[in-house]
Amino acid sequence: MNRVYSQITGWGCYAPERVLTNADLEKMVDTSDEWIVSRTGIRERHIAAPGEATVAMSLQASRRALEKAEISADELDLIILATSTPDYLCPPASSMLQDELGASRAGAMTLVTGCTGFLYGLITAAQFIETGAYKHVLVVGTETLSYGVDWEDRNTCVLFGDGSGAVVLSQSQTPGGLQSMLLRSEGDGWDALILPGIGSRTELTPEVIERKDHKLKMDGRRVFKFATRVMTDAVLEVLTDAGLTIDDVDLLIPHQANKRIIDLAVRRLGIAPDKVMVNIERYGNTSAASVPLALCEALAEGRIEPGDRIVMVAFGAGLTYAACVWQWQSEEVEEEPILVTNWPVPESLQLMAQEMRTAAWRMQVQARTAASDAAMAVMLPLYAFRKGVKKRLSKEE
């Protein structure tokens, strides 16, 4: 029996028309364009119109993905919608999307794993495809974060935006698709990024609203420290599992949360900046929509070719993180390789050389990571001291 591979056959994205710039935010909170750009890399973000919620945006991206895949909604076997901002806590937003699409024979489920949601969904969908259980699966990542943001909190309101991205996964006989993957969670950090006032644990009372516990809260220092560690570790692990190094990667698509986090991961991994997809300046952090939005833009810009190896990596609330190596497939069907148990010696030497190359790269990444950690350990106290001096001087004035 021929092996079945998962292939991304369609993709589409959607961002609301309204654009909120840093100049707009300067009029709303005590901030500046220079402060936001220097700390996050964000210049603008898209904000949903009144009444425009998660399902509506998902519908736009999904229709574009289905059109690109050249299939109809009733050919879908499963819909996976990744979101932390559904239209309602009940019913599932995925069922509403299924109905709007007219995907009458598809199962539907909603994944809530924060910013890693799309990758959790993509990897899950690939398993359904590669086992032969399903032929076509729609994976969507959508967030309407503007509804949960406290627009008076300058530490969070400058970060987030709204949007949606979707892909169609289909069966293929051509080798490619998912090469290696990682799904992880460090649940002891569950409260580092939280919307505490909505859920079964807390009744939504006037007191909860007065405390703004119905709005997003973030411990920025904890999230930054977690993100800078797992971004590097996750990429290192999935490439090692695939028998690859960073030199074998054609494009890295990281979660677009903070430009400084991306830059640090790029330096530690030793990847050329032109091999990294970055669009955070135009969208901000769109959580589960972040990776598919970046993937769609990379494809539109011609940055992905048949046979290219792509690494996608994300981190988010939970604290969860995920990564995968994905090989973009061509339309041509290649013959399956013939397995040989007594492989010639030159092939064994080639495999050994590859293992040594991977091990050497791992050591380089670990050394760069240790050096950057040491530098941050020195710089952070100096930064805090300088910040304290500025505060005291401003008070004296």
Helix axes 93-101, 54-69, angle to 10 degrees: 50
Q: Is 285 a catalytic residue?
A: yes
Tokens (6 digits) for 47 = 């904000």
C-alpha–C-alpha distance, residues 172 and 35, integer Å: 48
Q: Is 157 a catalytic residue?
A: no
Cβ proximity of 6 and 177 under 8 Å: yes
Check 22, 46, 255, 324 and give the catalytic one: 255
Residue 109 buriedness (CB in 10 A; 0-12 / 13-18 / 19+): middle
C-alpha–C-alpha distance, residues 147 and 326, integer Å: 33
Check 13, 115, 157, 296 and give the catalytic one: 115
How many Cβ atoms are within 10 Å of 268's Cβ, its own excluded? 25
C-alpha–C-alpha distance, residues 290 and 117, integer Å: 10
**Alpha carbon 169 to chain centroid, angstroms:** 17
Q: Is 279 a catalytic residue?
A: no
Check 22, 46, 157, 285 and give the catalytic one: 285
The closest of 78, 171, 71, 163 to 124, measured between CA atoms, is 78
Non-local CB neighbours of 129 within 8 Å, separated by 6+ positions: 4, 5, 6, 135, 137, 169, 170, 171, 177
Helix axes 259-269, 33-40, angle to 10 degrees: 30
Q: Which residues of 361-376 are buried (b: 16+ CB within 10 A; e: fewer)?
A: beeebeebbeeeeeee
HSE (side-chain half, CA atoms, 13 Å) at 132? 5
Handedness of CA 235, 169, 319, 253 (dihedral sign): positive
Block residue for tokens 């293992």 = 355
Q: Which amino acid is at 156?
A: T
List the catalytic residues.
115, 255, 285
